[in-house]
């Protein structure tokens, strides 16, 4: 059985005509930012991708139906609707069978993008190994989908609330390349650098497309992470962010916040602690990733021709 994917007309046309497409997640709309910032961000990201010459495909589940590409009305609905589920691989069966509405996470978006034949995906930051995972075993499903699916995820590195060192070790075990775009160091979401090195530095979108084509042409399954540093004017001091994270983590532990609720709780608290500065940085890094993802999709698309 193949799932029914409701393709937006622009996405269907792009697939039929073998045009470059960039997948986009939807949890950033329903769980990542407040209204109306979330709607503006989502529409601006789609415009950035279109302006580069690619087609955006925001992915979500609306009343039990998988949508690849959303209308403006769909985005408004996701942004305002209460009780929207966060959907990763574990959640598809329930949300679809119960006709619920769900916003796809990085892992969930990767699954649907792969089913639709979309190879490039732009997001803010990937999930990974959480701090204290030695005791909690809290490891994001994002890493498993990156290992299993032929998907290129363009991000500002792993979310800085994570254990970056263990996340890199986990990706290495799974055979997932971490490519630094014009950087030798892994960006840490809000900050341009971290103490950790990427596997490979590549300075041009075509070089990234060449690497992906070389890997997948060999029949090697699995994705790649393209770590794209946040633009310099919006980069935040690593120590300031780390202090905010430690404070937010302490509060999360005190309140017993667990599982899927950890990341949105921490991001919300960090925004509060930084006086909203982290929200602006979050938006700008998403724009930056969308732009690069579109350029990579265009270069990768040349191989299809």
**Residues taking part in catalysis:** 25, 159
Residue with tokens 């399954």: 221
DSSP classification of residue 261? G
Give the 3-state secondary structure of residue 96.
helix
Distances (CA, A) of 218 to 89, 229, 258: 27, 29, 40
Estimate to the nearest angstrom the gap between the alpha carbon of 291 and the chain centroid: 14
**Which residues lie below 8 Å from residue 230, measured CB to CB, with a gap of 6+?**
156, 187, 189, 190, 191, 192, 281, 284, 285, 288
21-24 and 5-7 as β-strands: parallel, antiparallel, unpaired?
unpaired
Question: How far is it, in rounded angstroms, from Cα 5 to Cα 92?
Answer: 13
Question: Which is nearest to 294 in space by CA: 199, 188, 176, 208?
Answer: 208
Residue with tokens 């305002």: 80
Q: Long-range contacts made by residues 192-198, C-beta under 8 angstroms, separation at least 24?
A: 192/229, 192/230, 192/232, 192/235, 193/229, 193/238, 194/157, 194/160, 194/164, 194/238, 195/164, 196/164, 196/165, 196/168, 198/227
């Amino acid at each position: 059985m193949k799932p029914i994917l409701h393709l937006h007309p622009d996405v269907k046309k792009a697939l039929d005509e073998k045009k470059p497409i960039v997948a986009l997640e939807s949890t950033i709309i329903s769980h990542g930012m407040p209204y109306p910032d979330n709607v503006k961000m989502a529409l601006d990201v789609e415009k950035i991708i279109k302006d580069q010459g690619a087609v955006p495909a925001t992915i979500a589940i609306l009343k039990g139906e998988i949508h690849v590409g959303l209308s403006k009305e769909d985005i408004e609905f996701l942004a305002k609707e209460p009780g929207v589920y966060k959907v990763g691989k574990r959640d598809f069966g329930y949300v679809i069978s119960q006709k619920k509405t769900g916003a796809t996470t990085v892992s969930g978006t990767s699954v649907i993008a792969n089913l639709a034949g979309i190879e490039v995906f732009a997001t803010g930051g990937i999930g990974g190994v959480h701090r204290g995972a030695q005791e909690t075993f809290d490891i994001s499903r994002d890493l498993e989908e990156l290992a299993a699916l032929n998907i290129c995820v363009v991000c500002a590195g792993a979310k800085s609330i994570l254990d970056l060192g263990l996340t890199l070790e986990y990706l290495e075990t799974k055979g997932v390349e971490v490519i630094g775009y014009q950087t030798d160091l892994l960006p840490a979401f809000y900050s341009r650098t971290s103490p950790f090195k990427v596997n490979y530095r590549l300075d041009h979108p075509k070089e990234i497309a060449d690497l992906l084509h070389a890997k997948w042409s060999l029949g090697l399954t699995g994705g790649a992470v393209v770590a794209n540093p946040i633009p310099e004017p919006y980069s935040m001091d690593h120590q300031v962010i780390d202090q905010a994270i430690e404070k937010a983590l302490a509060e999360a532990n005190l309140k017993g916040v667990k599982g899927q609720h950890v990341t949105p709780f921490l991001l919300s608290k960090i925004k509060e602690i930084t006086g909203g500065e982290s929200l602006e940085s979050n938006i700008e890094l998403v724009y930056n990733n969308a732009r690069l993802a579109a350029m990579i999709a265009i270069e990768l698309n040349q191989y299809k021709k």
